[in-house]
Amino acid sequence: MAVAPSPPLWNIRDDSVDWVAELGRIAHFGDNSASLAGNDHPDFGSAFDPIERREFRHHSTLTPDELRGVVRTRSYWLTATTDDQRRVERELTELLNTHPALAGRDTIELPYRTLVLRARRR
């Protein structure tokens, strides 16, 4: 029995949420996968029926320090100058301390959108 390949899928931070968009600006996330959230996705080719697209929303629960840790794993942070890293830290701290959805919270729900594409072989 042949095993069907897994459908392409992407987990994308939901930058339609204002603080998540601001986080992306601060941390220079610049994900290329965000363009897939629209209809800008690959074509599977003539051997397949039209692409079926589904989207699922979920979140990761993080502490403010864990969110800082996420930022510190990104390539922008890892290759940034010390001054740029300090600026990111300063702006992230300000966001965490002043945004109504974040200020004073022990945990933060970081929203994601999971995009799944599937096409059946003809």
Instruction: Give the pLDDT confidence of 101-118 residue by residue, as tens digits.
Output: 999 999 999 999 998 888
Does any domain span residue 4?
A: no
Q: According to the model, what pLDDT value does residue 73 have?
A: 93
**pTM for the complete prediction?**
0.77
Does any domain span residue 2?
A: no
Strand partners, 57: 113
Q: According to the model, what pLDDT value does residue 119 have?
A: 86
Helix (H), strand (E), coil (C) string for 19-77: HHHHHHHHHCCCCHHHHHHCCCCCCCCCCECCCEEEEEEEEEEECHHHHHHHHCCCHHH
- How far apart (Å, rounded) are the C-alpha atoms in residues 3 and 104? 49
Does any domain span residue 103?
A: yes
Does any domain span residue 76?
A: yes
Q: According to the model, what pLDDT value does residue 57 have?
A: 96
User: Dihedral angle at the C-alpha atoms of 29, 104, 64, 14, nearest 10 degrees?
Assistant: -40
Structural domain that includes position 41: 9-118
Instruction: Give me the number of domains the chain comprises.
Output: 1
pLDDT higher at 10 or 86 = 86
- Per residue in 5-61, pLDDT (tens digit) is 556 888 889 999 999 999 999 998 765 555 555 556 667 788 888 888 899 999 999
Does any domain span residue 3?
A: no
